[in-house]
């Protein structure tokens, strides 16, 4: 496999709606969790989707699910911390489906649980590299591709980017920074009709979430109870919000950090 790029193309077919008809959208972290659910949701409503993931196998699986449902999808293997790989994924998506008009940046890494005094430099650096630098590099390639035609970029921040959470300093810092980066991008992109927003999930039932709860099953109940709605979100609920924010129905929204957290940050 050539480093940073691997792809599979797809066909077209039936849709739930045409809300995103004609949109070409790249989704990073599309191999699982919010990214996977988001890619499938976007395709089901008319978008052609470049499914980008560090795992080519997982990217392909998501693209295959889109194709089997009658949509347009392409699997692409890229490390979001490698600009050349991210740029190549954007280029391949545009070559297959047309000019890029949207992006959903979901690639992320939670890191180890450790207070500031116990957090290793390696853990800190890796979380910042994936969550912040990876989002920056993805946005850079995406905004360059949208310079002529405009578009919409949606970053995944976190409820932890709006409040303080103990035990994960790198994650909290990186998600606060993603919100700042989102707002900077919104101001810089406005003159080219590029909208940039972020969603801030609470706890979501993803592989990242399950990796934590497997180690301590009591955490599941604790996290559910921390949300006023009393439960953990399903990935598709984030995908549905993303679908609207990436559509023309949200055409006057930019620079926003939207909580999708069951009321967690309203407390």
- Where in the sequence numbering do the catalytic residues fall? 171
For the purposes of burial, counting CB atoms within 10 Å of the CB of 233, is it exposed (0-12), middle (13-18) or buried (19 or more)? buried
Backbone angles phi, psi at 231, to 5 degrees: -155, 170
Rounded to 5°, the CA angle 185-128-196 comes to 15
Rounded to 5°, the CA angle 227-241-185 comes to 105
Which positions ≥6 away from 121 have C-beta within 8 Å? none
Compute how many other C-beta atoms are within 10 angstroms of the C-beta atom of residue 226. Answer: 17
CB 39 within 8 A of CB 102: no
Task: Classify the phi-psi angles of 263: left when phi > 0, otherwise alpha if psi is within -120 to 50, otherwise beta.
Answer: left
């Amino acid at each position: 496999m050539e480093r940073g790029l691997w792809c599979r193309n797809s066909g077209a077919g039936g849709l739930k709606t045409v809300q995103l008809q004609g949109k070409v959208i790249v989704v990073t972290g599309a191999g699982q969790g919010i990214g996977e659910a988001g890619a499938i949701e976007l395709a089901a409503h008319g978008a052609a989707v470049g499914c980008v993931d560090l795992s080519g196998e997982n990217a392909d699986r998501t693209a295959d699910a889109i194709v089997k449902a009658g949509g347009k999808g392409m699997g692409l293997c890229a490390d979001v911390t490698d600009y050349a790989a991210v740029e190549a994924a954007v280029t391949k998506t545009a070559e297959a489906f047309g000019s890029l008009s949207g992006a959903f940046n979901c690639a992320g890494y939670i890191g180890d649980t450790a207070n500031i005094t116990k957090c290793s430099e390696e853990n800190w650096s890796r979380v910042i590299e994936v969550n912040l630098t990876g989002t920056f590099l993805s946005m850079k390639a995406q905004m360059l591709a949208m310079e002529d035609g405009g578009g919409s970029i949606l970053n995944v921040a976190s409820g932890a980017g709006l409040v303080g959470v103990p035990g994960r300093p790198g994650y909290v810092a990186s998600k606060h920074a993603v919100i700042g980066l989102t707002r900077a991008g919104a101001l810089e992109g406005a003159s080219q009709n590029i909208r940039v927003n972020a969603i801030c999930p609470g706890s979501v039932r993803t592989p990242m979430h399950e990796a934590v709860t497997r180690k301590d099953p009591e955490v599941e109940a604790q996290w559910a109870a921390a949300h006023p709605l009393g439960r953990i979100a399903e990935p598709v609920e984030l995908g549905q919000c993303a679908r609207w924010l990436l559509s023309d129905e949200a055409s006057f929204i930019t620079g926003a950090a939207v909580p999708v957290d069951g009321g967690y940050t309203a407390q």
